[in-house]
Structure 1
Amino acid sequence: MTENAQPTLTAADTNPTPVLLKLPKSEYTGSILGLAVLVAINFLWFSDRLGFSGFSPHPFWLVVLPMAARYGFKAGATSGLLAGLLLLGLQQLDRPHQSWRTLLALSNLTLPILFVGGGILLGEIREAQKKRYQTLVDAFNHLTSTHADLGQRYDALSRAKQELDTHIISQEQTLTTVYEAAKGLKSLDEEDIFPAVVEIMVDFLAAEACSVYVLTEDRLVLAAGHDPEGEFKRRNELIVDEGMVAEAVTSRQTVSLNALTPSTNFTDLAAEGIVICVPLLNSKNQVLGVLNIERLPFIKFNPQTVRLASIIGEWCGSAIENARTYQDTRDKNISDDITGAYTYTYFLKRLQEEFMRARRYSQEMSLIAFEIADFQKIDKGHQQDILTVVSLVFKNKLRAVDLFFHDHDASRYFILLPGTPRAGAQVANQKMIEEINAFKFRPYTDNDERALAIRTGTTAFAQTMQQPDEMITQAVNEIQ
């Protein structure tokens, strides 16, 4: 029973003698007992006036009226009839010699008739009152039941409204937070995108196990995954034309396990352990890979999660395409537009050429590894400024035939000096360090008084070297 529910009332709940109501003959028993007591009194104390002759009002009314008032028509009629018959009987005993015609004369029947009529009339009034009362009780019970039902509905609607409000608020927060998290996919380094996608699926889809596979030739190779409990046996490679992956790649649409239940090979698909598979597409609708959710809480396995997974897949596909476009463009450019330094890819190609030339013609050649110490401790707003200044120093202090290149690490350069022995490279190196120190940079965030620190390593070509990579390794190892 809810808090608003009220107990249902019946006529029996308000009756002062509910026990008597449960006895079918209680009204007759009460009439008989009451009249018997009055007759006994009549015989014991008023034996000379049997039938209470001369008493006004007659004592039998003490039984007829209460019985009619309490129990209604039947009790009133019964008690009135019994009282009338008993009165006639007592009168006959009091005057045994009178004839039946005298006994049944109208003048003698007046009081018995009044007993019966009074009992019936008062009983009818009581019946009407009982019906009226029962009607009110029924109306009250109906209103109480309606009130309780409305209270339950109100409580249910209040809870539903609260849940809906919470759902809407959490949905807005989820979409906003997912959008903020998706900014992490703006990285132009493809390797940084995959862990970010996995993190988004874990945080916002509650994925307990998920993975990202990248299409390489005709194979899907694992790029990143999440399974902290280690229960899912994930393969390093997936076959493009098998299972749920084939469904997603072929249709170019997100595929979920519950949507494949009518499929004839549903058992085989379920055995793969993939719950949702999202194809990663580029702007030309070409498949770049797939995003798999392998384990998900049951309550989260719904159309909303499938739609959100599709959105994340679209973001991931766009991020991969942007990163690859940037990488392709970067590879085609041999120099940085800002610093003027050549790219590392061009460095490897040019070093190979100069190494073969020095080897063939027995020429001198040196390589300097130039590194800015603790580059990450420099404020990010000043990092590019430092690199630009260093590049300007290289341009001013190096010969036209000398070349400087960026390493993969933004804080490191390689300077290639064709026709220059190791001693000449050390002199050039010292001049560049002195020039940079003259700027008196104090760029480190951990110590405002700390000057910019430069570390270098120098090596020279030797005929014993077999590959140009040996020069790179030696130069890096010489850094101090």
Structure 2
Amino acid sequence: MASTDSKSTDTATPLPGQETGARWLWGLRVSALIEIGLFFAAAIAIDLLFFGGHRFTEVRPHPFWFIVVLVSVQYGANEGLLAAIAASVVLLFDNLPPQSFGQDVYDYWIGVGLRPALWVGIAQALGQLRGRQIRERDILRARLHNVQKQAEVITASFDELKRAKAALEARIARQFRTVITTYRAAQAMDAVDEGRLASGIDDLILAILSPRKFSLWTLTPSGFVLTRAHGWADDEQRAKTLSLDHTLVRHILGRGSTLNVARRDDERVLQGEGLLAGALTDVDTGEVVGMLKIEDTAFVDFNLYTLENFGVVCSWVGTALIRSRRWRELQRDRVSGGNAFLMSEEVLDRMIGLLSTLGKRQGFTSSVMVIDTIAAEVSDAPEVRTAVALAVGEAIRASFRSSDLAFESQRHDGRFVMLLPATAVEQAKAIIDKVERAIRQRLPKGQSERKLSIKAIDITEMAKPTAESRSG
């Protein structure tokens, strides 16, 4: 038989098996106490008004059965026992039936206590059944809760596995793209043209190191000067020059080792300027031409693989820059261009200055004819540009005087310059049509309709910008 715990006086902590969402008092649900109280208050009022206050003694079945059965079935044995006791008290308090003449005392008390005993017995029987049902429900709820927790854990694990799978696929795809991009960047690194080399360097750094922000610096007599930055915001405040007395510059030039912010000593040297920094050096001579610095990168990309490749990239970029610099130095002294009939642009600058000065002294005028063979929107393959240059050279050799000179421009693809000594602009304009016909006759197949722009310029107009560019 279930019984209440006399030590339970708090409503905050329910007993084992009790519903956590309900309010409790002395191990009993507060809602059951309220229902029992309201029922008996209403029953007593109805009895006093309509049944003479005899507590429904003659009514069959007795109305108190309703509250006893209802509370037992709804709440369990404890609340059912309370309802049975309350019904017995309300029925018998100051309402004991008179003992009949000649009735045995035992028979009398058996008759008086039979109904309360039935109430208690029925309350306990129904309450125990209800209690077992509640316990089984609680067990099922606990199992369901555990299953839900397990399902949440499995779902979270599955989602994490999906994210890991997606990240792995992305990393594999990125590595595959990195191989292709590295190959293309390596091809661009073979260029000596500054624009193509700069693009190739950017592609190489992004393909191998995957930085969010990086910068390239050139070594000057006063220190490092920022040449190019990638990923920086327009309003981002960063130093554009680093003097020779800067700690970072002294370390790069003195030791030449790679600086890594993960090392405590290197972090003090970097002074918040970046995560990685390394000298751009020539592998053969050890000459330092600049510095590569990474300011920001993803956490997963800042690993041992990146640190090892950073030094390789610095050496690669340094060698490419030195090769480009040496090529430019050789170009300054070169006489002939890529075509045997055409001379280099460096010679053109010298000849323009010479003829301009000589013309002023001797009183004759020279002119320059500029030939553009490529429209601004056209981008030719190297073999096409070579074929066009050969066609222009042959046309020049066949159409021009022995005193005329032809030059190939390295600063502008598809541009050729004709130097016409002792020839005024009006005379040069007269032979433009002849030159255009000679060039078109010799253009390779598929290029005969190519756009050509030919104009004549006085040599004095060309001499002034040339002199300013040399002085700058």
Greater RCO, CA 8 A, separation 6+: 1
- Determine helix, strand or coil for the equivalent of 1:373: strand
The 5 Å alignment of 1:3-402 reads 11=19, 21-23=29-31, 25-26=33-34, 29=37, 33=41, 36=44, 44=52, 51-52=57-58, 61-80=65-84, 86=91, 92-93=97-98, 95=100, 98=103, 100-104=105-109, 112-144=116-148, 146-147=150-151, 184-190=188-194, 193-194=197-198, 197=201, 205-207=211-213, 211-215=215-219, 220=224, 223-224=227-228, 228-229=234-235, 231-235=237-241, 238-239=243-244, 242-249=246-253, 252-256=256-260, 258-259=261-262, 262-263=264-265, 266=268, 269-270=270-271, 273=273, 276-284=276-284, 286-292=287-293, 300=297, 302=299, 304=301, 307=306, 310=310, 313=314, 315-324=316-325, 326-327=327-328, 335=336, 338-339=339-340, 371-377=369-375, 381=384, 382-390=387-395, 393=398
Residue 367 of structure 1: how far off its partner (Å) = 12
Counterpart CA distance in 2 for 1:189 and 1:389 is 26
Change (3 A) 1:124 1:51: same
Counterpart CA distance in 2 for 1:453 and 1:43 is 127
Change (3 A) 1:452 1:473: closer
Counterpart CA distance in 2 for 1:59 and 1:228 is 87
Q: Which runs of 5+ in 1 are unaligned?
A: 1-9, 352-363, 417-421, 424-428, 459-469
- Determine helix, strand or coil for the equivalent of 1:441: helix
Counterpart CA distance in 2 for 1:14 and 1:439 is 104
Percent identity over paired residues: 17
The 5 Å alignment of 1:422-461 reads 439=438, 441=440, 448=449
State the match for 1:466 in structure 2. Answer: none
State the match for 1:6 in structure 2. Answer: none
Change (3 A) 1:453 1:144: closer
Deviations 1:29-52 (A, max 9, x none): 3685588579769963989xx954
Q: Is the 8 A contact 2:224 2:249 kept in 1?
A: no
Deviations 1:173-223 (A, max 9, x none): 68866765675544313476457757988997554xx65333467954555
State the match for 1:358 in structure 2. Answer: none
Instruction: Report the TM-score when normalising by structure 1.
Output: 0.57
RMSD (Å), alpha carbons? 6.2
Q: Is the 8 A contact 2:219 2:290 kept in 1?
A: yes
Residue 120 of structure 1: how far off its partner (Å) = 2.2
Deviations 1:301-348 (A, max 9, x none): 646379499376455324324424545666787655751666677899
Counterpart CA distance in 2 for 1:130 and 1:450 is 94
Q: Is the 8 A contact 2:282 2:322 kept in 1?
A: yes
Counterpart CA distance in 2 for 1:59 and 1:222 is 98
State the match for 1:355 in structure 2. Answer: none
Counterpart CA distance in 1 for 2:96 and 2:161 is 75
Counterpart CA distance in 1 for 2:82 and 2:146 is 35
Q: Which runs of 5+ in 2 are unaligned?
A: 1-17, 353-361, 468-472
Change (3 A) 1:43 1:383: closer
Change (3 A) 1:392 1:144: same
Q: Is the 8 A contact 1:31 1:64 kept in 2?
A: no
Deviations 1:49-87 (A, max 9, x none): x954xx876665445433433333234434445666756
Instruction: Report the TM-score when normalising by structure 2.
Output: 0.58
Counterpart CA distance in 2 for 1:24 and 1:67 is 7
